[in-house]
Amino acid sequence: MDEVTQRALQVATERGASYADTRTVRRLNERITVRTGRVAGVSRREDEGFGVRVLVDGAWGFASSCRLTTAEAERVAAQAVRIARASAQAMRRSVVLDGRPPQQGRFETPVAVDPFAVPLERKVEDLLLADSAMRSAAPLAFAESTYRAHREWKTYADSAGSDISQVITHAGAAIEANAVAGDEHQRRSYPDPDGGMRAGGYERVRELDLVGHAGRIAEEAVALLTAPQCPAGRRTIVLDPTQLYLQIHESCGHPAELDRVFGSEASYAGTSFLTLDRLAEGFRCGSDLVEIVADATAPGGMGTFGWDDEGVPAQTVTLVHEGTFVGYLSSRETAPRIGRTSSGAMRADGWNRIPLIRMTNINLLPRPGRSLEEIIAETEDGLYLVTNRSWSIDDRRLNFQFATELAYEIRGGKLGRLLRNPTYTGITYEFWRSCDAVADGRSYRMLGTPNCGKGEPSQEGHVGHACSGARFRDVQVGVGRW
């Protein structure tokens, strides 16, 4: 345990904290953006600091600083205690944490090729090649190729004796082709619209084969300009993993966050329809085929770690079992309120933010039997929706609406016409109850987003979602006037 951490914990305890934890975090981020043949941005950002969280008289206080000195540790710890005492002025229920033994250990994301060791010119060249391949394949208005790597060194220690160190590495790349004609602007992206990041190193970029997919997405973007508008109606839809991952994120992951249920996010992100009475009754939130887990150990997932930011070991928790709601993402504070222990879902966006309940890797498990292609082949009449373009959901996570970059008509089990501007909408539990096919492991893949917004002050979370594709019946598509 370093001196800053030791001193912070000591001062917090001396000043009256019944519990204290300290996280010291150093983060390194690298981004490269190539835009229409031009290197639009290359940046490397590094920040470092520590945060002290304390419980005093049953109330939380948190303070943080970028100055890693023992004198600053003393100041910040004392400030956290003072803030906690101020919090107690408007407190009606004392915080109680679940009991658990202190943790010690080290975790490191498996990395085959250190992304920060790959020469910068090589990474720029990889993006320029993809950019050139897109623009030579079709007349684009603009194109963008991005690379991003993130590494976080963090130590966690608490007054109960935990002492943990972790090194988390995420990396990825993505390409985006944009075509414009008149009022029409069409975008196609690969591998997903969230930057293609996964846990791991530069091997994640190489396995994407950006150049190999560049021509196809460029041609699709241009073809979409003249494709027919997706008609309105109630249809069978098959969601590709590149759309399904965000459907899981918005309509399954967020409502399972127990802090939302208790109202902690009510003033910003909202609450949840998965209320405590629905856990007790075994609420039917999907068909029998729907099996959703929060798995903080899944290979490649951006929600994979050794311990969360409360020192709780990574674990796999079932949220939905055969369509029935059975569990939450929780913390050491929220879990005891429903008679459980933490699911290990607390993570903070750096040293200057408190941990919040965040999704880990929220995965829709594949169902043995049929591949995604076979599901399409057995669909008489429907739409195959690919790659998220837009998302929106209400503050209790019930009414959602998504748009995808493209749709293909399915007629007699075969993919037909390309359609532009597809949208679909529904009520979360009705939609998941209409799921009548989940693809097997052949199309099961890890996706995710590094931009999950939550909390005040705002925090961005890195979360993972693995899925294989699924079919839904009687869904409203083609929303609005076009």
Stretch that binds another protein, among 202-210, 312-320, 420-428, 460-468 (CB under 8 A): 420-428
Nearer CB in complex with another protein: 1/479: 479
Stretch that binds another protein, among 15-23, 107-115, 289-297, 393-401 (CB under 8 A): 393-401
Output the CA torsion 292→293→294→297 (10° steps).
-140
**Pairing, β 197-199 against β 163-181:** antiparallel
| Residue 240 identity (one-letter amino acid) | D
| CA of residue 172 relative to chain centroid, distance | 14
Nearer CB in complex with another protein: 88/160: 88
Element (H, E) at 157: strand 142-158
Identified binder of another protein from the candidate list 21, 61, 152, 244, rule CB under 8 A = 61
Identified binder of another protein from the candidate list 18, 82, 219, 313, rule CB under 8 A = 82
How many Cα atoms are found within 13 Å in the side-chain-facing hemisphere of 142?
7
Residue 20: closest CA among 162, 153, 166: 162
How many Cα atoms are found within 13 Å in the side-chain-facing hemisphere of 257?
29
Told to check if 418 binds another protein by CB under 8 A, we report no
Interatomic CA distance for residues 54 and 75, integer angstroms: 14
- Radius of gyration of the chain from its Cα atoms, rounded to whole angstroms: 23
Identified binder of another protein from the candidate list 101, 117, 121, 368, rule CB under 8 A = 121
Told to check if 129 binds another protein by CB under 8 A, we report no
Told to check if 135 binds another protein by CB under 8 A, we report no
Nearer CB in complex with another protein: 65/103: 65
Residue 469: closest CA among 330, 376, 339, 341: 376
C-beta of 389: minimal distance to another protein in Å? 8
Which residues ranging from 144 to 183 are in contact with another protein (CB under 8 A)? 144, 178, 180, 183
| Residue 238 identity (one-letter amino acid) | V
C-beta of 92: minimal distance to another protein in Å? 4
C-beta of 157: minimal distance to another protein in Å? 19
Identified binder of another protein from the candidate list 316, 391, 415, 460, rule CB under 8 A = 391
Told to check if 142 binds another protein by CB under 8 A, we report yes
Q: Is 332 helix (H, G, I), strand (E, B) or coil?
A: coil
Told to check if 456 binds another protein by CB under 8 A, we report yes
Task: Residue 168: count other Cβ atoms within 10 Å of its Cβ.
Answer: 20
Residue 452 β-bridge partners: 461
- Kindly report the backbone phi and psi dihedral angles of residue 154, in degrees, each rounded to the nearest multiple of 5, phi listed first: -140, 145
Told to check if 277 binds another protein by CB under 8 A, we report no
Stretch that binds another protein, among 88-96, 157-165, 240-248, 305-313 (CB under 8 A): 88-96
Nearer CB in complex with another protein: 207/394: 394
C-beta of 361: minimal distance to another protein in Å? 23
| Residue 302 identity (one-letter amino acid) | M
Told to check if 46 binds another protein by CB under 8 A, we report yes
Told to check if 89 binds another protein by CB under 8 A, we report yes
Interatomic CA distance for residues 401 and 247, integer angstroms: 9
The residue ranges of DSSP E strands in 297-439, in sequence order, are 316-321, 324-325, 346-347, 356-357, 362-364, 381-393, 399-411, 414-419, 423-427, 435-438
Q: Is 110 helix (H, G, I), strand (E, B) or coil?
A: coil
Which residues ranging from 319 to 358 are in contact with another protein (CB under 8 A)? 352-354
Identified binder of another protein from the candidate list 136, 226, 390, 451, rule CB under 8 A = 390
Which residues ranging from 394 to 413 are in contact with another protein (CB under 8 A)? 394-396, 398-399, 401, 403
Identified binder of another protein from the candidate list 49, 172, 255, 303, rule CB under 8 A = 49
Which residues ranging from 199 to 218 are in contact with another protein (CB under 8 A)? none
Tokens of 85: 């005492």
Told to check if 234 binds another protein by CB under 8 A, we report no
